[in-house]
Amino acid sequence: MSTLVQVKELSKRFGKLVVYEELNFGVQDGEFVSIIGPSGCGKTTLLRILGGLIQPSSGEVRIKGRPVKIALAARELGFVFQNPVLLPWRTAEQNVALPLEIVGSKEHVSTPRDLLKIVGLEGFENALPKELSGGMAQRVAIARALAFKPSILFMDEPFGALDEITRNRMNLELLRIWKEERASISSIIFVTHSIPEAVFMSDRVIVLSTRPTRIEETLTIDLPRPRTTAMKNSDQYIKLVEHLRKVIGDD
Amino acid sequence: MLQPESLQPLFNVKTAKKGIEVIGVPIVFSLGIFAIWEMIVVAFSIPTYLLPPPSMILTELGTNFGSLLGHMGLTMLEATAGYALGNATGFALAILFAHSKYIEKGLYPYAIALKTTPIIAMAPLLILWLGTGFESKVATAALICFFPIIVNTVKGLHSVDSDAIDLFKSYRANRFQVFTKLSLPMALPYIFSALKIATGLSVVGAVVGEFVGANNGIGYVILVSSYHLETVTMFAAIMISAVGGITFFAVVSLLEKKIIYWQKGIETT
């Protein structure tokens, strides 16, 4: 395993407000890493800095040893946000086609139709976003993020707006998609505010503190893969969740 | 088990019922109002120059229909030309505003000044500059349409979700792509809301222009008939101008439904 993402002495300030000071961590090739922390600690900003959408105040992010800008330009990074941001005038298929259209590349590996099939939305190609449920809309957003076969998927609370049943189903779906697309997607960096979700999905959980934000703890989740719903009853899982609750100070 | 075919006629009955409600009920109400109006005029022997009965107005509409329609046609031509001009320039300016903070800060106060100055106060000046013909009416109609389109277009272009901007950033989309594929379609509901408001306003603008100086047009007919106490003609002209404004609004609303098929029109400003 080699280092895919390297974060070096990363700091971010908004005026006088110090968000992070000297964050250092890495994400290995093939790792599912969750970032969790109290609200207002800057999880969302951190994910956008890691993905090169926001500039840090100092320090740097390297992906496969190169500055993040290069990875972004090479379209090696895919993004899914909490809001699926589907364009309401486009059908599911046209939404998935959006990144390909913007880049104007004719030679892509998968067609939008194939991508929808991967996320389990075969037959919904012509549906408009207003006709899709929250879970389905997020599936379209995932399909769209897969358009360039990214090597890292950045996800910002992707299932945070969904009800619990749909969220649990989408968690399993994401793990299935990740497994099936492993040839391209090596790692997923996942921001969440749900401790059980972080434990269930991840190989490693990075816990952020309140501001000024530091890394409070990095917890390795050694539950076997593939993860199953039954594991949520295991002592190991329950202990990990309890431990994280204590670290975050969640009552 | 229910077959979809057996549901079809039920559905048709439902839509027919809805159609009756939307069109039929207002018609029944207006017939009722006309009847009461007619009865009041007769019962109290109200002089015709104050309030003519609907039957006389209808007769007037029937006998002078060609001439009234000719005047209204001219007014609608002035209104729609002004509408096109005002909305096009307002839209172009709004795009400039959305792309440059400096232009917005420099010109926005003038846009507000233009909005707060009564159109009737400016009409004489426009007649002086452009004459009593077609052009001055187009100008008054254009001026009155100008403000809603600017405000709503700017608001609409700024209404784009920041996650959507981040998404386009992640594709390294250029400004033109962000504008055509994201901001402009997002702004359409706002733009159409201004376009709908402007339909009625443009007719007002043209009629105001005609009041101040004209030899024809429906505003001219209304003004002259008031001088001569031809109240019946005046009522007929008012009704025709109302129908003109309503038709214009209905056409733009229909266009909105066709173009923004993906959501219901939102009301702003």
Contact A79 B161 (CB under 8 A): no
Identity of the residue in B163, B164, B262 whose CB atom sits nearest the CB atom of A128 = B262
State what percent of residues in chain B have pLDDT above 90.
77
Q: Is B246 on the interface with A (CB under 8 A)?
A: no
- Residues A97, A143, single domain; the answer is yes
The average pLDDT across B89-96 equals 94
For residue B268, being part of any structural domain is answered with no
Q: Give CA–CA dist B107/A1, Å, rounded.
A: 59
| Domain enclosing residue B224, as ranges | 53-259
pLDDT at residue B61 in the model: 94
pLDDT at residue A251 in the model: 47
- Residues B132, B24, single domain; the answer is no
In chain A, the number of structural domains is: 2
- Residues B66, B26, single domain; the answer is no
| Domain enclosing residue A107, as ranges | 84-149
Q: Mean pLDDT, chain A, as a whole number?
A: 91
The pairing of beta strand A152-156 with beta strand A3-14: unpaired
Task: Tell me the per-residue pLDDT of B12-35, one tens digit each, with 9 for 90 and over.
Answer: 666 677 777 888 888 899 999 999
- Residues A69, A158, single domain; the answer is yes
> What angle do the packed helices B134-157 and B119-130 form, to 10 degrees?
130
pLDDT at residue A148 in the model: 87
Contact A85 B177 (CB under 8 A): no
- Residues B97, B223, single domain; the answer is yes
Q: Which of these three, A97, A123, A149, is where a domain ends?
A: A149
Please state the pTM of the whole predicted model: 0.84
Q: Is B165 on the interface with A (CB under 8 A)?
A: no
**Nearest-CA residue of chain A relative to B171?**
A99
> What angle do the packed helices B218-227 and B184-212 form, to 10 degrees?
30
pLDDT at residue A96 in the model: 95
Cα atoms in the 13 Å half-sphere on the side-chain side of B150: 22
For residue B261, the distance in angstroms to the closest alpha carbon of chain A comes to 8
- Residues B64, B17, single domain; the answer is no
Contact A79 B263 (CB under 8 A): no
- Residues B36, B115, single domain; the answer is no
Task: Tell me the per-residue pLDDT of A24-62, one tens digit each, with 9 for 90 and over.
Answer: 999 999 999 999 988 878 888 999 999 999 999 999 999
For residue B264, being part of any structural domain is answered with no
* Higher per-residue confidence, A211 vs B100: B100
The average pLDDT across B181-193 equals 95
pLDDT at residue B3 in the model: 40
**Which residues on B lie below 8 Å from A157 (Cβ)?**
none
- Residues B12, B128, single domain; the answer is no
Strand order in the sheet with A77-80: A77-80, A152-156, A187-191, A32-36, A204-208, A215-220
In this predicted structure, the answer to whether residue B7 has a pLDDT above a threshold of 50 is: no
- Start-to-end C-alpha separation, chain A: 37
Q: Helices (DSSP H) in chain A: which residue ranges?
A: 43-50, 68-73, 92-103, 112-118, 134-145, 164-180, 195-201, 235-248
Contact A87 B173 (CB under 8 A): no
10 Å CB burial of residue A62 (0-12, 13-18, 19+) is: middle
Torsion of CA A134, A139, A144, A147, to 10 degrees: 180
Contact status, residue A200 vs residue A231, Cβ threshold 8 Å: yes
- Residues B195, B156, single domain; the answer is yes
Distances from the Cα of B141 to the Cαs of A244, B83, B86, B95, B116, in angstroms?
A: 66, 6, 7, 21, 15
In this predicted structure, the answer to whether residue B189 has a pLDDT above a threshold of 90 is: yes
Task: Tell me the per-residue pLDDT of B46-71, one tens digit each, with 9 for 90 and over.
Answer: 999 999 999 999 999 999 999 999 99
**Which residues on B lie below 8 Å from A108 (Cβ)?**
none
In this predicted structure, the answer to whether residue B6 has a pLDDT above a threshold of 60 is: no
> What angle do the packed helices B134-157 and B65-99 form, to 10 degrees?
40
In chain B, the number of structural domains is: 2
Of B36, B166, B115, B177, the closest CA to residue A78 belongs to B166
Contact B166 A129 (CB under 8 A): no
Contact status, residue A2 vs residue A28, Cβ threshold 8 Å: yes
Reported confidence tier of residue A16, pLDDT bands at 50, 70, 90: confident
- Residues B86, B150, single domain; the answer is yes
Strand order in the sheet with A58-63: A17-28, A3-14, A58-63, A66-67
3-state SS class at B100:
coil
Q: Which of these three, A106, A121, A149, is where a domain ends?
A: A149
Tokens 């443009």 locate to B202
For residue B267, being part of any structural domain is answered with no
3-state SS class at A84:
coil
What percent of chain B is helix, strand and coil (3-state, nearest 5)? Answer: 85, 0, 15
Q: Is B6 on the interface with A (CB under 8 A)?
A: no
- Residues B17, B145, single domain; the answer is no
ipTM, 2 dp: 0.87
- Residues B149, B230, single domain; the answer is yes
One DSSP character per residue, B6-41 reads: HHHHHHHHHHHHHHIIIIIHHHHHHHHHHHHHHHHH
Contact A89 B185 (CB under 8 A): yes
Q: Which of these three, A149, A167, A190, is where a domain ends?
A: A149
Contact B262 A103 (CB under 8 A): no
